[in-house]
Every structure is written in C-alpha cells, then in structure tokens.
Amino acid sequence: MAEKEVLLTREGLEKLEAELDNLKNVKRLEVAQRIKVAIGFGDLSENSEYEDAKNEQAMVEGQIVELETKIRNARVIEATGSKNSINIGSTVRLLNIPRNLEMEYTIVGSTEADPAKLRISNESPVGEAIIGHKKGDIVEVHAPKGIIQYKILEIN
C-alpha cells in the first residue's frame, strides 16, 4: 500500500526531525534506564514499574516509527512568495461574511495544523475551500454548521 505524502513547510520538517532526534537520543535512553531499574525490583510478573516502563517503551518506539514515516514521505512546500493565489504556506486574511468578522490564517499541511495558533490544514473545510483562490474572491465553505461565505481580503 502506498504511503500518503506529507506536505510540510521547511519549519515543520525541522520540528519533526528535532522531535525524532529527542525521542531516539533522550526519551529512548530514559525509558531503557527505567526498565533497568524496574528489573532490579525482582519478580517481573507482578512488577508494575516494569510494566509501565515497557508500555512507555512501546509508545516511544511507535512514535519513532510514525515520525520516521512522516519524514520519509515528506514533501517540503516552499512559500512561492506569490500573492496572486492561496497555496500551502500562504497567510490569508478572510472576512466571515455572515458574522462580519475578520480572521487571519496560515495554510499548512495537516501534520503542522494548529488552530490555536491560527495554522489551519489545507485539508480542513476552510483550507480546502480557499486553496487556489485570489484576493477578492468569495468562497463557500461547507462546515459542520452549514455553508459559510468568506471573502478573501489579503494574501501574504
């Protein structure tokens, strides 16, 4: 089965690489040390410290595999500097027409999405609807609460 391409900004790729490095070179060693200490407590069949450490080891190894897969399948999207149309890496100012509310988002790949930091995925309803559009366009977003119209005010 083909693995899904992961779209990332250069910053996003560097963040994943740093997280992977930390898991491999810090967290993995910490967990191994916990296992070693827990083994020293004796009988492993009723040793909760050992079980907890082994469970954490499995989680860390799973995270490592997941990050390695994302990095292997990463395609870095370079900001083109184009203010003509919206793409991944664009920062856009939108007007929510029904609410007369302006908002600003940066469009990123799904791995980097963080709505609390106004970084929305190109696969989100808003991101998907505005990709490829130009300043002044009015787009309809099919959101869970219904259709919302947005006007594109600015692209950076």
Residue 10: CATH number of its domain: 1.10.287.180
- What's the pLDDT at 150? 97
Q: 72 and 105: one domain?
A: no
Average pLDDT, the chain: 92
Range of the domain at 39: 6-76
Burial level of 20, CB count in 10 A (0-12/13-18/19+)? middle
- Residue 49 within any structural domain of the chain: yes
Cβ-based neighbour number of residue 135 at 10 Å:
15
Report how far residue 7's alpha carbon sits from residue 37's, in angstroms, rounded to the nearest whole number: 41
Q: 62 and 111: one domain?
A: no
- Residue 149 within any structural domain of the chain: yes
Asked if residue 6 lies in contact with residue 111, where contact means CB atoms within 8 angstroms, the answer is yes
CA 135 to chain centre: 26
- Residue 82 within any structural domain of the chain: no
Q: Minimal CA–CA distance to 96: which of 123, 119, 129?
A: 129
Domain total in the chain: 2
Instruction: Work out the pLDDT band at 32, boundaries 50, 70, 90.
Output: very high
pTM of the model: 0.74
